[in-house]
Amino acid sequence: MGIDIDPKVSLLEAQSRAAKRLRADAKAKAVAKTGKAGTTATVETAADPKLDGINMWTVSGTVSRARGIQLMSNIKWETDTDAFVVGRNNGDVEVVGRNSGQSLYRFNEAKFADKFSIKHNGRFITERRYVGLGGSDSHFLTCTNMGEIRYQSFSGDGAMLMKVGVDACRMRVHQKRPSVFAVGGREQELTVWDADTVEAGSQSEYTKPRSTPVFKSKNVGNDNLDLRMPVWITDMQFMDDNALTPLVAVSTGHRQIRIYDAKTQQRPVHDWEVSKHPIYHILASHVRPELFFADNMGNVQQLDTRMGRVVSGYKGIAGAVKAMAISEDGSMIAAAGLDRFLRVYEAGGMRRPLHRAYIKQRVSQVVWDWDSRDLSSEEIEQKEAEDIWQNMDVLSQEHSEKRPSKRKVAAAS
């Protein structure tokens, strides 16, 4: 589903317009029912009204539980066409054209929908799901919760299959080098791999790689009772463009955010406990040294990585946050949760809510379209001024010549 938000209409203005429409509709219904012009009615807004400045449309597909999207990412297709690569509930990896909505490529994981039951770390795992997805113009990369990683070209010329630990929670692809990825999970330390250099055992089965990872973290020291600290990595983000010795931020289910520097040591260089609840998602800003993180209680907060201090929070979200995305200029952040709302906030300054849209469906992933970015207030004013000048009527040369003033005419005579 695509959502187009008009930057000229603020959230407060859109809510005011919607409230006026509701009051007018209620008054019209009361007048039609009683026939008295002075009758008023009490309005209860149980559902969120449609707000002005928001246009929603379906890019591709229909509502289907089997073909529901678990993960989604932006890619450039072969002919420089903007597209999405999506991972679905039935195991399909599909490339969908962003503008056309047509399916450009499809691959199905054969054993993805097989039924099984495995007890691992005291939990039963009964189904596969995608925990990581990425791609480029030539390859796509997927990872399941069973630790099955596939790096395959769209042309079908071979694939790299490898298996890491079971109960993987998250896999992230490097933003500059799509073959480099990081993975971690329950009782599974952070590891960074380069798919182009991995020595896989087979191209038809998922096996443990014979090569070593680019980086593997080491667990923090024991606590004050000399007990081992449990490992539960829920999400990670690459913090720099260096793919060989990256700087990686991870979140844990034990309320910590940790920074790993592959150039210095295996243990984290920073370890901050920043929440009262398990952290499930983190998002790195590419403009400022900041991290956005969300827990399972609907709290979205902002962490300054220079000081290790939470500087602000974003309010209004009910339920756990499923996905976050940041705009191209880093000025806005979008968040979607179990309450089926998409909310856009100001990333700096007052952290105000800017826009809101009710999706009417469960939201699993949010991707910001950087090709049609939101405009700032200065850019909006400049664009409006340019439109005014362009739409002005051009006068002919006869009318554009200045007529002599009366004083000059009198002096000449």
The CATH number linked to 85 is 2.130.10.10
* Cα 370-53-96 angle, rounded to 5 deg: 40
* Cα 284-151-67 angle, rounded to 5 deg: 80
Task: Give the residue from 136, 221, 134, 228 showing the smallest Cα distance to 183.
Answer: 134
Residue 44 has pLDDT above 70, yes or no: no
Read off the pLDDT of residues 183-193 as tens digits, 9 standing for 90 and up.
999 999 999 99
91: which 2 tokens? 């195991």
The reply to whether 48 falls in a domain is no
The reply to whether 327 falls in a domain is yes
Q: pTM, whole model, 2 decimals?
A: 0.79
Sheet bearing 180-185, strands edge to edge: 168-173, 180-185, 188-194, 215-216
The reply to whether 6 falls in a domain is no
The reply to whether 411 falls in a domain is no
Q: Are the beta carbons of 323 and 366 closer than 8 angstroms?
A: yes
The reply to whether 278 falls in a domain is yes
The pLDDT-based confidence of 404 (bands split at 50, 70, 90) is low
pLDDT for res 158: 79
Read off the pLDDT of residues 74-100 as tens digits, 9 standing for 90 and up.
888 776 678 899 999 999 999 998 878
| Alpha-carbon distances, residue 324 vs 214, 295, 327, 345 (angstroms) | 28, 12, 10, 11
Q: Which residues pair with 300 in a beta bridge?
A: 294, 314
The reply to whether 199 falls in a domain is yes
The reply to whether 176 falls in a domain is yes
Number of domains comprising the chain: 1
Residue 289: domain span: 59-387
Q: Report the range of poorest mean pLDDT among 5-9, 138-142, 181-185, 256-260.
A: 5-9
The reply to whether 250 falls in a domain is yes
